[in-house]
């Protein structure tokens, strides 16, 4: 018997449209994840498209889910997003 916990530096969710730097947003994900909350981490779409750099401001795990909030620190330009997306897809096995 055991307990699986994932430590994540990437939040992979359906990102809200028109996010803004400095604004705070919330999300919910399945599983027992722990997101880094003392350093900037990546925000990506479900298809690994890189969107922004964020900081987790709160997180709570309950009943096999995590509810969290994040603050947007930086939004990637189209060029930055394309390059980072290629890297994420290569690293995580997406073609």
Within a domain: 36: yes
Q: Where in the sequence is the domain holding 49, given as residue range(s)?
A: 6-91
The 10s digit of each residue's pLDDT in 16-67 is 999 999 999 999 998 888 899 899 999 999 999 999 999 999 999 888 899 9
Look at residue 1 and tell me if it is in a domain: no
Domain of residue 84, CATH code = 2.40.240.20
**pTM (predicted TM-score):** 0.90
Q: Hey, is 46 helix, strand or coil?
A: coil
Which letter does DSSP use for residue 92 in this model?
T
Q: Has residue 1 got a pLDDT over 80? A: no
- Which of 88, 85, 52 shows the shortest CA–CA distance to 71? 52
Residue 11 has pLDDT above 90, yes or no: yes
State the pLDDT confidence band at 7, using cuts at 50, 70 and 90. Answer: confident
How many domains in the chain? 1
Q: What is the pLDDT of residues 53-88, one digit of tens each?
A: 999 999 998 888 999 999 999 999 999 999 999 999
């Amino acid at each position: 018997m055991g307990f699986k916990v994932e430590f994540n530096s990437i939040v992979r969710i359906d990102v809200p449209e028109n996010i803004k730097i400095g604004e705070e947003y919330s999300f919910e994900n399945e599983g027992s994840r722990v997101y880094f909350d003392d350093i900037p981490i990546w925000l990506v779409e479900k298809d690994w498209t890189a969107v922004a750099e964020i900081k987790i401001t709160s997180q709570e795990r309950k009943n096999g889910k995590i509810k969290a909030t994040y603050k947007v620190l930086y939004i990637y330009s189209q060029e930055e997003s394309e390059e980072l997306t290629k890297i994420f897809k290569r690293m995580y096995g997406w073609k």
